Amino acid sequence: MITLYGTPKSRALRVSWLLEELGIEWQFHFIDFAKGDNKTEAFLALNPSGKLPVLTDGDFVLTESAAIMRYLAEKYGEGLWLPKAGTYASGLHERWVSFVITELEQPLWSMGKHRFALPKELRLQSMHAVAKWEFDKAAAIAEQWIPQNGFVCGEQPTIADILLTQTLGWALGFEQQLPPKLSAYRDRVKQRPALLAAIDKSESAANSA
């Protein structure tokens, strides 16, 4: 049995979305930060950093959302969700994955850290302007790359699409404006039934915890 440890609006959502797309059986284990669930001995044995998400597949334990998604796509994707290795599409896909995590998401997480995640004495109000500048710069590049139709690598969705779409959702949550093509891209990809199912399953687990 696959178990995903996380919270509904964390990076765990990108993993739960992929799990629903793959159509495999899995369960959601809600980690309540307010109760210190991420600091328990049991959870720290899974991930010493105390961060989310964590996935267990039988006895196998894996952390880091992009690594988890690649593992799931390679093991359960039946040739989908990742372009064929060694192709131009694979190279472009890896560029997208790296860009989303290191350039597009990073300033948004800086906003989050300096709003709520860091101890109050370490939060810097000036960081918000810096992070907004960084995000706008990255979003402008993504706007150049994003196609008018379809997905980032063509007609079929990949894990890069999940990473990008969730990150753009975070941007809106942090009150950032998206360029028009990126906004239209998010609007069409976020309608996938698997995403809605993942949100419902994780929120139901959190509400019943």
Strand-strand pairing, 2-6 and 54-57:
antiparallel
- Mean pLDDT across the stretch 180-202? 97
* Cα 168 to Cα 141: distance, rounded to the nearest angstrom: 14
CATH code 1.20.1050.10 region(s) in the chain: 88-191
- pLDDT tens across 9-60, in order? 899 999 999 999 999 999 999 999 989 999 999 999 999 999 999 999 999 9
Topology (CATH level 3) of domain 2-80+194-208: Glutaredoxin (3.40.30)
Report, as an integer, the average pLDDT of 76-87. 95
Give the confidence band of 147 by pLDDT, cuts at 50, 70, 90.
Answer: very high
Does pLDDT of 209 surpass 90?
A: no
Return mean pLDDT, the chain.
96
| Percent of the chain scoring above 90 in pLDDT | 96
Interatomic CA distance for residues 29 and 54, integer angstroms: 10
In the chain, CATH 3.40.30.10 covers: 2-80+194-208
Q: How far apart are CA 45 and CA 47, in angstroms?
A: 6
Topology of the domain covering 88-191: Glutathione S-transferase Yfyf (Class Pi); Chain A, domain 2 (1.20.1050)
At what angle are helices 105-112 and 127-145 packed, to 10 degrees?
Answer: 160
pLDDT of residue 9: 86
Mean local confidence (pLDDT), 83-94: 96
Of 143, 166, 152, the closest CA to residue 95 belongs to: 152
- Check: pTM over 0.75? Answer yes or no: yes
